[in-house]
Chain A
C-alpha cells in the first residue's frame, strides 16, 4: 500500500493531457473469430501507464470480445497482446491476472453465496502470503495474513464507498452496491491495469456521478483504466483518450473532443449519408401522408 500511496502522491490531480511515458498495454492486429464470424478483425490500440482510455462503439463492435482477449478468456487467432512488454496471448486468465490486470464483468459476477468481505478478499488471493501449513497449524503468519486480507477488504470497500452491510451475503446487496463491490474486488488485486466493462450500466444519475469520481480516484492511485461504456457523457468527461471500434477494428483514436468530430465515428454511430437521405425522404413522406389524412378529415 505504501508504494501505491507514493505513486499516487506523485500524480497530482487530474490533468488530462499528461505525457504517458510508458505503454502498459499494447494490442496489435488482434483477430478473433467465432466460427467464421470475425468478431475482432485487426484491432490495435494501446493504454499508457496511469491513463484512462475508453473503448466505445456500437453494439457488436467487439469491445467486450477485445477485453476477453486481453484478459485471456478468449484465445485470439492472430495478433498480439503485450503487457508491460510481456506477450500474454494464449496465457490463461489467472496467469494474466498475476501480471497485474484486473477486470469487472458486463453483468457483475460476484460470489453470491459469500459475504461482501469474502468477495473482496478474493482480490487478495494472489499476493496474500499464506501456505497450507500456516492454515493447518494456525501459525502467526496465518493470523497476520488473515487480518491483512480483512483490513484490505475494508479499505477498498471504504474506497469505493460501499453503503450497506459487509458481513452479509453479497447477493442481498442492491445492484448498484454490487457493482461497487465488484470494483473493490478488482482493486484489491492491486492491478496496474483495470478493465471496466460497462460500469455505469443500470446506475442512476447520482451513482453515475459517484462512479465518475471513483474512476478518477482509481487513476490517481497510479492504475491505468480501460473502460467500455455506452454513456457518452461519462466517456467524454473522464477519458483521456477514446478508441472507437466498429466491425472489430478501431476506426478512430484520440482525445474525446477530436473523436466526437471524426466523420468515421459520426458515420458509425448515426449511419451513412445515404441512410440520412433515405431517412429524410421517409420523413417527408410521412409528413406528406399526415397532411393528406388531415386534409381528408377537414
Chain B
C-alpha cells in the first residue's frame, strides 16, 4: 500500500486491474448481488482522460510534473513564479479544508497566512535562528489564532460568517501595519532562510524543497478529508441539524476545520517568508483571500486535485499572459468567467469516493 498511499492526494481512485476476491475491472462496478438495477459504479466508459483523472497514481504524476518543470525552464524568474505557485497551492489546499470540506465561507484566509509569516519571520529575524526552528511556535500561534477567530464567529451562519471573517482578515493586516514588532508599514526584512542563510537558498534547491513540503501538505489535507473527521465536515456542510442528530458536535467540528485551515495557511506563510526573505502588510490584503478562494471554487470545492489545478491556474495564468501587458488581467477575468460558465462545479469537481472495493459488500446481512 505504501506507493498507493503516498499518491492518495489524487482524490478519486478506482483501483485499476482485477481485485482480489471480487474480480472487478477498473471503471466497472462490483458484481452486485442484490436486486435490479445492476449498475456500474462509474457510469462512464473508461476513456483515457477518465482513467487518468481517477488513477491512484495521480499524486505521483502531479509531483513528477512539479519536479520536472525546472528541467524545461529554469530561469530565476520562472523558478520564482513556480515557487510562488507551489506556496499558493498549499494555501488553497488549506482553505479547501474550511470552504470545500466544511462549507464555511471564509473571506479572510490571508489572516492565517499573515499570522504564520509574521510569527516565523519576526522570531527568526529577532532571534537570528533558521525559520525551520520557528515551526513549533508557528504551529501553536496559528492554532491559537484559529481558535480566537473561530470560536466567536462559528456560531454564525453562512453570510454572517463571511462578513465577520472578512473583518478579521482586515484586523490582522491593520495590526501588522501598526505594530512595532511587525515593522509597521515597511514590514520585516532579512528573514533567515529555512535552514539558515547558507543552506538550500539556491532558487532551484528552494523550489524543490518547497514542492516536497507542499506535496506532503496536500497529501495530509487529502487524508484528513477522507477520515472520520473529514466525513463529519461534509455532514456539517450538507445539513447541520442532521449531523447534530447523528452525534456530530457541529461546533467542535467546525472549529477543527478552522484550526486545520489556520495551520495550513500558517505553514504556507512560513514558506512565503523563507521565499521572499521580506514580508510587509501589502502581501496580505483582501485580494489574497479572494484569490485563494477563487482557486478553491475554480478547481472544484472539496476536490483535492481540483484545488491544486485551480491554484496552479490562478497563480500561473497572470504570468503566462504577461505578453498581453495591460490587458492581462482583463483576459484573466474573462477566462475565469468562461471556466465557471462551462464548468460550474469547477475544473475538476469532487466525486463520491466510493471505490469498487467499498461499494461491494463483504459481509452477510445482519438479518
Contact residues of A with B, CB < 8 Å? Answer: 1, 71, 73, 92-95, 97-98, 102-103, 105, 109-115, 117-118, 121-126, 128, 130, 132, 134-136, 138, 142, 145, 149-151, 154-156, 158-159, 163-169, 185, 189, 217
Task: Output the least CB separation between B324 and chain A (Å).
Answer: 38
Nearest A residue to B219, CB-CB = A136
A-chain residues with CB within 8 Å of residue B226 when the two chains form the complex: 135
* B246 and A125 contacting across the interface, CB-CB below 8 Å: yes
* B247 and A128 contacting across the interface, CB-CB below 8 Å: no
* B239 and A109 contacting across the interface, CB-CB below 8 Å: yes
Does B227 reach chain A (CB closer than 8 Å)?
yes
B-chain residues with CB within 8 Å of residue A150 when the two chains form the complex: 358, 362
16 additional contacts, CB 8 Å, given A73-B245, A111-B239, A132-B227? A94-B249, A97-B246, A102-B245, A109-B239, A110-B242, A111-B234, A115-B353, A117-B358, A138-B1, A151-B362, A154-B361, A155-B366, A163-B35, A164-B37, A165-B37, A167-B354
Offer 24 A-B interface pairs, CB within 8 angstroms, sorted by A.
A73-B241, A93-B244, A97-B245, A109-B242, A111-B238, A112-B239, A113-B238, A114-B238, A121-B231, A122-B231, A125-B246, A132-B224, A132-B256, A134-B227, A135-B228, A150-B358, A154-B362, A155-B365, A158-B361, A158-B366, A159-B365, A164-B37, A165-B41, A167-B354
Mask of B255-289 contacts with A, CB within 8 angstroms, 1/0: 01000000000000000000000000000000000
* A128 and B228 contacting across the interface, CB-CB below 8 Å: yes
A124 to B5, CA, bound (A): 24
* B366 and A114 contacting across the interface, CB-CB below 8 Å: no
B-chain residues with CB within 8 Å of residue A98 when the two chains form the complex: 247
A-chain residues with CB within 8 Å of residue B363 when the two chains form the complex: 151, 154-155
The count of residues in chain B whose C-beta lies closer than 8 Å to any C-beta of chain A is: 45
A-chain residues with CB within 8 Å of residue B229 when the two chains form the complex: 132, 135
B-chain residues with CB within 8 Å of residue A217 when the two chains form the complex: 367
- Given A92-B249, A138-B5, A156-B239 contact (CB < 8 Å): no
Among candidates A93, A125, A165, A166, residue contacting B231 with C-beta atoms closer than 8 Å: A125
* B231 and A167 contacting across the interface, CB-CB below 8 Å: no
A121 to B354, CA, bound (A): 12
For the complex of A and B, list the 3 residue pairs with the smallest distance between their C-beta atoms, beginning with the closest.
Answer: A135-B227, A158-B365, A167-B354
Contact residues of B with A, CB < 8 Å? Answer: 1, 5, 29, 34-37, 39, 41, 220, 223-224, 226-232, 234-235, 238-239, 241-250, 256, 352-354, 358-359, 361-363, 365-367
- Given A155-B366, A166-B354, A185-B227 contact (CB < 8 Å): no
Task: Output the least CB separation between A118 and chain B (Å).
Answer: 6
- Given A111-B239, A117-B354, A136-B220, A122-B246 contact (CB < 8 Å): yes
B-chain residues with CB within 8 Å of residue A156 when the two chains form the complex: 366
Nearest B residue to A145, CB-CB = B228
Nearest A residue to B225, CB-CB = A135
B-chain residues with CB within 8 Å of residue A134 when the two chains form the complex: 227
B-chain residues with CB within 8 Å of residue A142 when the two chains form the complex: 227
B-chain residues with CB within 8 Å of residue A169 when the two chains form the complex: 352
Task: Output the least CB separation between A165 and chain B (Å).
Answer: 5
- Given A132-B227, A135-B227, A142-B227, A109-B241 contact (CB < 8 Å): yes
B-chain residues with CB within 8 Å of residue A135 when the two chains form the complex: 223-224, 226-230
Task: Output the least CB separation between B222 and chain A (Å).
Answer: 10
